[in-house]
Amino acid sequence: MTIQELSPAEARQRQARGARLIDVREAHERATGMAEGAQGVAKGALEAAPATHVPDRDAPLLLICQTGARSRAAAEALAAQGWRDVASVAGGTTRWQAEGLPLTPPDAGIDLDFHERYSRHLRLPEIGLDGQTRLAEATVLVVGAGGLGSPAAYYLAAAGVGTLRIADDDVVDRSNLQRQILHAEERIGQPKVLSAATTLAGLNPRTRIEPVAERVTSANIDRLLDGVDVVLDGADNFPVRYLLNDACVLHRKPLVYGAVHRFEGQASVFDAGRQRGACPCYRCLFPEPPPPEAAPNCSEVGVLGVLPGVIGLLQATEVLKLLLGIGEPLRGRLLQFDALRMQFRQTRLAPDPDCPVCAPGRDFPGYIDYAAFCSGPRT
């Protein structure tokens, strides 16, 4: 069935001749302002019971949404149910506004910044107002404001995570700027957490940044995890990786892991704290760190500058999914990325029933501070 699509100006003329204009967007979208004279009935409610809202099947009807797709679909649904004079406004409220046609003022008290800033999230039914509100109420611990933490924190702030607690005891060095995009030339020598806070505040002043200019150790790990919903490991070194793993099992927090080396990277979600025996932790894979002489010397190993961007954004994606409760988290799977071949490979990871930390029923063995392998700047 072909639905007639009208320009906003044509719709306005029909409206003047008595056609009813119905805005089929969700209530939170309509709160930012509607085409003048429109009545709000969300698409789902309208399609479920059209006769309740439009008893006369011959009445001239005009449907409008944000950009024209939902109103066209709703018009098709109504036409299929026997409404004979339904048209859709092409381009929707966006075009209506752009062409200078009158709008009702936004609802009193509405947070226009929130609705504009997150409009592309709010239009996704999987996120919507509930999901965006959940993000705003969330606290994420980002360990490391370096190569992985930079892109991750950048996008988590942009996406509207309410609080980012960022822990890093390092200062900005010129050699960081090849990949650590939160920082800037003029902030060389500054603590990374303060440099990060400056950039993130410029991107999204709604996100609260808690800068913690400390090295992560057993002495502060409990405090760092306090009140946190998800932990992102952007430190990419063995002592912190094991400490975070153990602490996240103890405190039942999901840990989003990432690591990079030269042209390759990997990511996973360790959720053994909340799902003992069902999900692996990092120690299920590698019970102990390698001896220092076997581990790469981080200050000497090179890394392709974009690589931590790829892995850090995979981590940020997993953080958002965990906070929103959508999709299939990267639990029990290790995703490996090879930039030179441009290939992803996935390996299944099973929990180790004898894991020293996360085996069901096992008492927590206590924290271990392994010797730092890297004295130089972290990757």
Residues involved in catalysis: 298
The least distance separating Zn ion from the CB of residue 378, rounded to whole angstroms, comes to: 25
- Residues 63 and 90: their CA atoms lie apart, in Å, by 9
Q: Which stretch binds Zn ion (CB under 5 A): 15-23, 105-113, 280-288, 367-375?
A: 280-288
The CA-to-CA distance between both ends of the chain, in Å, stands at 58
- Is 154 in contact with 182 (CB distance < 8 Å)? yes
Q: Which stretch binds Zn ion (CB under 5 A): 128-136, 299-307, 352-360, 371-379?
A: 352-360
Residue whose CB is less far from Zn ion, 64 or 281: 281
Query: CA of 332: how far to CAs of 219, 234, 244, in Å?
Result: 29, 19, 17
Q: Give the count of residues interacting with Zn ion (CB under 5 A).
A: 5
Picking from 140, 320, 171, 327, the residue whose alpha carbon sits closest to that of residue 234 is: 140
One of 19, 24, 335, 358 touching Zn ion (CB under 5 A): 358
Helical spans, DSSP H, in 138-237? 149-159, 192-203, 221-225
Residue 247 binds Zn ion (CB under 5 A): no
Q: Tell me how many degrees the CA angle 210-377-229 measures, rounded to the nearest 5.
A: 30
Q: Which stretch binds Zn ion (CB under 5 A): 80-88, 123-131, 192-200, 276-284?
A: 276-284
- Is 262 in contact with 303 (CB distance < 8 Å)? yes
One of 355, 373, 378, 379 touching Zn ion (CB under 5 A): 355
Q: Which stretch binds Zn ion (CB under 5 A): 141-149, 231-239, 316-324, 347-355?
A: 347-355
**SS3 assignment, position 120:** helix
By beta carbon distance, the residue nearest Zn ion is 355
- Residues 320 and 298: their CA atoms lie apart, in Å, by 29
Residue whose CB is less far from Zn ion, 17 or 348: 348
Binding characters for Zn ion, 283-322, by CB under 5 A (x = yes): xx--------------------------------------
The least distance separating Zn ion from the CB of residue 245, rounded to whole angstroms, comes to: 8
Q: Label residue 193 left, alpha or beta by phi (over 0 means left) and psi (-120 to 50 means alpha).
A: alpha
The least distance separating Zn ion from the CB of residue 277, rounded to whole angstroms, comes to: 9
Helical spans, DSSP H, in 17-110? 27-30, 43-48, 50-53, 69-80, 92-98
The least distance separating Zn ion from the CB of residue 202, rounded to whole angstroms, comes to: 40
One of 281, 311, 316, 322 touching Zn ion (CB under 5 A): 281
Residue whose CB is less far from Zn ion, 301 or 350: 350
Phi–psi pair at 363, nearest 5 degrees: -75, 145
The least distance separating Zn ion from the CB of residue 330, rounded to whole angstroms, comes to: 16
Q: Which stretch binds Zn ion (CB under 5 A): 94-102, 165-173, 279-287, 303-311?
A: 279-287
**SS3 assignment, position 112:** helix
The least distance separating Zn ion from the CB of residue 358, rounded to whole angstroms, comes to: 3
Residue whose CB is less far from Zn ion, 153 or 279: 279
- Residues 246 and 357: their CA atoms lie apart, in Å, by 7
Chain residues in the site for Zn ion (CB under 5 A): 281, 283-284, 355, 358
